[in-house]
Amino acid sequence: MTLRNKIILYLLLIHLVWGAIAVFVFMADRAWLLAVEAFFLISIILGVLLIKAFFVPLQLIQTGAELIEERDFSCKFIPTGQPELDGLIRVYNRMIEELREERLKQTEQHFLLEKIVGGSPSGIIILDHDGKVSSINPSGERLLQVSAADLVGHPLSQLASPFAAELEALQSGESRIVPLEGSRRLRCARVQFFDQGFPRHFLIAEELTDELRISEKNAYEKIIRMMSHEVNNSVGAISSLLEACQLYAEQVRADDRDDFSNALVVARERAHRLNAFMRGFAEVVRLPAPELRPTDIEKLLQDLGALFGPELRKRNICLKWEGEQCLQPVAMDKNQMERVLVNLLKNSIEAIGEHGTITILTGKRGQVPFVCIEDTGCGIPNDVRSLLFTPFFSTKSNGQGIGLTLAREILAQHHFRFSLESRPGGPTRFSIFFAG
């Protein structure tokens, strides 16, 4: 029984008691008895009406509270004509309207945020309060090479990949460049936000490979052009002077003539080598656009294997071929791609030294043909691997540091993806995927 019904019942009982007393007192005087009974009846009616009027605001408050609890912000109350009650109704209706607008705004913002996160080219991984993955966008799935269904609800540490370990090691508010397969570079950051008053984090990985490559290229192009200009001018003048000096050989004493001629020959050879050295750098700057023609990949590799045959036999290096599929011709610039593969095979031979194996694997990953060159060398140290595609960096005493830079530029112009996998003491694999 509600409180209102209890009060009404109490009011009726009191009036019945007083009515009974009035009957007993005014039984002899019927006029007074009727007047008293009429008064009690009117009192009961007025009391019930007052009680109902008193409980209307309470019912309104209760109904409003139930609607708010059910998150139903679509219902409003109609004014009743009572000033006090209408004031309460106006306050409630305004509050409901603001709540409805706020919920609509939050829903739209949440929907927009989902669309932005889902369509972002950057990988975004949102963590829960325990540091486990609560959601990941498609770009993050591609970077980590895992589906959201396999990762959500688990920590990143369950993935046995160096990239996942790098992300897991990021501290709150930290941002750094993380190398990925091949020459890829990602800017990764861990950002904190608050959810229901408690801190949470999300990780973001932004691709910087092309941006850094273009920035590096612009920088080393200026340096190479300046060096080429100065060296060519100097070498040209020196070569002319050396040719002129050769004309005076007959005027030199007979005993010193041979030494004089030999010195001029050595100087000319050094000048030519310096020219050739600069041409190697200039090739990176003046790399022409590829002339694409259908090329048989396997035939190209077999020709290069025959080219390196004597060197491989001399070093007791075995060249193995693996691949079950006959690849279709791929549109490429044969000469440029040949330079890339020659550079990779030379690097593998030098990494092995003597007594080892180079494996050339051809096949398809999905519908994309690929070539993988693997050697049994000593692997690449971690501190060196991140610098391999840096212009002018070389681990060789006489290296120019442009081989892999040139290879990267050629592959980038062909829109071919590539990856470099290596660990100290383990095999090194360079894979080229003939698709963007």
pLDDT tens-place string over residues 254-276: 776 677 777 777 777 777 777 77
pLDDT of residue 1: 60
pLDDT of residue 387: 65
pLDDT, the chain, mean? 78
pLDDT of residue 389: 67
CA–chain centroid gap for 327, Å, is 32
Nearest to 235 by CA among 280, 286, 269, 282: 269
Joined together, the tokens standing for residue 95 give 């509050």
pLDDT of residue 419: 82
pLDDT of residue 401: 61
Nearest to 373 by CA among 317, 303, 299, 319: 319
Nearest to 317 by CA among 349, 294, 360: 349
- The CATH classification number of 293-433 equals 3.30.565.10
The pLDDT confidence band at residue 58, using thresholds 50, 70 and 90, is low
The pLDDT confidence band at residue 53, using thresholds 50, 70 and 90, is low
Contacts of 369 (CB under 8 A, 6+ apart): 297, 327, 328, 330, 362, 363, 433, 434, 435
Query: Averaged over 349-361, what is the pLDDT?
Result: 88
Does position 178 have pLDDT exceeding 60, yes or no?
Answer: yes
**What share of residues in the chain are helix, strand, coil (percent, to 5)?**
55, 20, 25
- Matching residue, tokens 């040139």: 406
The pLDDT confidence band at residue 352, using thresholds 50, 70 and 90, is confident
Cα gap 342→194, rounded to integer Å: 54
Residues in the chain, total: 436
The pLDDT confidence band at residue 212, using thresholds 50, 70 and 90, is low
Does position 383 have pLDDT exceeding 70, yes or no?
Answer: no
Does position 337 have pLDDT exceeding 80, yes or no?
Answer: yes
Strand partners, 362: 371
pLDDT of residue 148: 83
Higher pLDDT, 410 or 425: 410
pLDDT of residue 114: 82
Q: Domain 120-207, what fold?
A: Beta-Lactamase (3.30.450)
Joined together, the tokens standing for residue 281 give 């750098």
* Domain range summary for the chain, segments of one domain joined by +: 3-106, 120-207, 211-285, 293-433
Write out pLDDT tens, residues 301-336: 888 888 888 888 888 988 888 876 667 888 999 888
Query: Averaged over 201-207, what is the pLDDT?
Result: 87
Strand partners, 360: 321, 373
Higher pLDDT, 109 or 88: 109
Cα gap 251→262, rounded to integer Å: 15
pLDDT of residue 396: 64
Does position 126 have pLDDT exceeding 80, yes or no?
Answer: yes
The rounded percent of the chain whose pLDDT value lies above 70 is 80
Nearest to 208 by CA among 224, 189, 221: 189
Cα gap 153→231, rounded to integer Å: 61
Higher pLDDT, 408 or 49: 408
pLDDT of residue 85: 67
Query: Averaged over 25-40, what is the pLDDT?
Result: 71
Cα gap 176→208, rounded to integer Å: 11
Nearest to 120 by CA among 136, 107, 109: 136
Put simply, whether the predicted model's pTM sits higher than 0.75 gets the answer no
The pLDDT confidence band at residue 363, using thresholds 50, 70 and 90, is confident
